[in-house]
Amino acid sequence: MRLTIVAATGGIGRHLVEQAVAGGHEVTAVARRPRDLPPGIRTVAVDLAAPDPRALASAVRGADAVLSGLGPRDPRTDVGITSGGTRAIVAAMQAEHVRRIIIVSAAPVGPVPVPGQPKPPRHDPGDGFFMRHLGSRFARALFGKHYADLALTEQILRDSGLEWTVSRPPKLIDKPLTGTYRVALNRNIRGGFSVPRADVAHHMLRMVDQPETVKQVVGVAS
């Protein structure tokens, strides 16, 4: 399968590249500094903070799916890169007639209002007592602008007409791949407080061939 992986040197992106190559896929890796990527794969240099439309179009051309681990280096200050970069990726895919895209968002995003959904539910249906009353409030107090940008990113996908899937993990941690995690459609995972980045990448790759995840938000957690 021909896969384009965006933000390929990031925390999730590097796992996507490693696992996709190990799985025998033909990979095009998009990164600001592609020299940091392993040899033997096609690379395209794109700064998603100021994306070059022609470079992005060449990166997604002929792809069976695009997987994006795009996110800010510092979610408290580096706001806007995810929505802006995703908007550029969507435009490139539409221009090149590529349909399938899977992106990473975050578990606390569900109750965040956006123009297309100004009155979302007060709580995610998968959240337990702690997340409903303490955890989500604490997270939004620290990273509210980041979650607002992720909510806008999800809205961009909903409006795109593409075959999109949103992965919503909780706290990301740097532990080895386990291949064992819980998933749920359109809800967070009850009691799921963290998940390894490697497992998120593993699940994203699995969802490429899961039609039931198209136009769905998918919770994933250990």
Containing structural domain, residue 148: 2-221
Which of 54-63, 82-91, 104-113, 123-132 has the least mean pLDDT? 123-132
The average pLDDT across 37-42 equals 88
Q: Compute how many other C-beta atoms are within 10 angstroms of the C-beta atom of residue 97.
A: 9
Over residues 11-31, the pLDDT tens digits come to: 999 999 999 999 999 999 999
Rounded Cα–Cα distance for residues 206 and 188 (Å): 18
Comparing 52-66, 82-96, 97-111, 168-182, the range with the smallest average pLDDT is 97-111
The residues, any chain, with a CB within 8 Å of residue 68's CB and separated by 6 or more, are 5, 6, 7, 85, 86, 89, 101, 102, 103, 104
pLDDT at 132 over 60: no
Query: How many structural domains are present in the chain?
Result: 1
Question: Per the structure block, which two tokens stand in for 50?
Answer: 């100021």
pLDDT at 123 over 60: no
The string of pLDDT tens digits covering residues 137-173 is 545 544 568 788 998 999 999 999 999 999 999 999 9
How does DSSP assign 99-141, residue by residue?
A: -EEEEE--GGGTT--BTTBSS--SS-TT--HHIIIIIHHHHHH
Answer left, alpha or beta for residue 210, where phi above 0 means left and psi between -120 and 50 means alpha.
beta
Higher pLDDT, 34 or 82: 82
Q: How many residues does the chain have?
A: 222
- The pLDDT of residue 111: 46
Q: In whole angstroms, what is the distance from residue 167 CA to residue 178 CA?
A: 18
- DSSP bridge partners of 101: 66, 164
- Statement: residue 130 has pLDDT above 60: no
CB contact at 8 A, 127 and 188: yes
Note the pLDDT of residue 136: 53
User: Model's pTM, two decimal places?
Assistant: 0.88
- pLDDT at 191 > cutoff 70: yes
CATH number at residue 83: 3.40.50.720
